Amino acid sequence: NLALRQDAPAPLRAADFRSDVDPIWCPGCGHHALLLAVTTALAELGVAHENVAFVSGIGCSSRIPAYTNVYGFHGVHGRALPTATGVKLARPDLTVIAAGGDGDGLSIGGNHFTHACRRNVDMTYIVMDNQVYGMTKGQASPTTSADWSGSKLTPHGTGISPVEPARLALVAGANFIARGFSGQPKEVAKLIVAAVRHPGFSFVHVLSPCVTYRKEQREWKHAVHPSLDAAPPSRMDEAMHRLADDDGFTTGILFSGDRPAFAPDRQQRMAIGSFDAQFAA
Binding residues (CB under 6 A) for ligand SF4: these are 25-26, 29, 31, 60, 130, 134-135, 210-213
Shortest spacing between CB 133 and Mg ion, in angstroms: 6
Q: Residues with Cβ < 8 Å from 250, sequence gap 6 or more?
A: 179, 224, 225, 226, 227
195 contacts 124 by C-beta, under 8 angstroms: yes
Least Å distance, CB 65 to ligand SF4, is 15
User: Shortest CA distance to 180 belongs to which of 198, 159, 170, 166?
Assistant: 166
Distance, in Å, from the CA atom of 55 to the CA atom of 94, rounded to the nearest integer, reads 12
What are the angstrom distances between the C-alpha of 235 and each of 230, 231, 241, 254?
Answer: 15, 12, 10, 11
Q: Which is nearer to ligand SF4, 122 or 129 (CB)?
A: 129
Give the residue among 144, 92, 55, 39 at the shortest CA–CA distance from 262: 92
Question: Rg of the Cα trace of the chain?
Answer: 19
Binding site for Mg ion (CB under 5 A): 101-102, 130
Selection from Mg ion, ligand SF4, none that 212 binds (CB < 5 to 8 A by kind) is ligand SF4
Residue 102 interacting entry, from ligand SF4, Mg ion, none, C-beta within 5 to 8 Å by type: Mg ion
Which residue lies nearer to Mg ion by CB, 87 or 132?
A: 132
Complex with ligand SF4: residue 182 or 251, whichever CB lies closer:
182
Residue 83 or 141 having the CB closest to Mg ion = 141
Find which of Mg ion, ligand SF4, none residue 113 binds, CB within 5 to 8 Å per kind: none
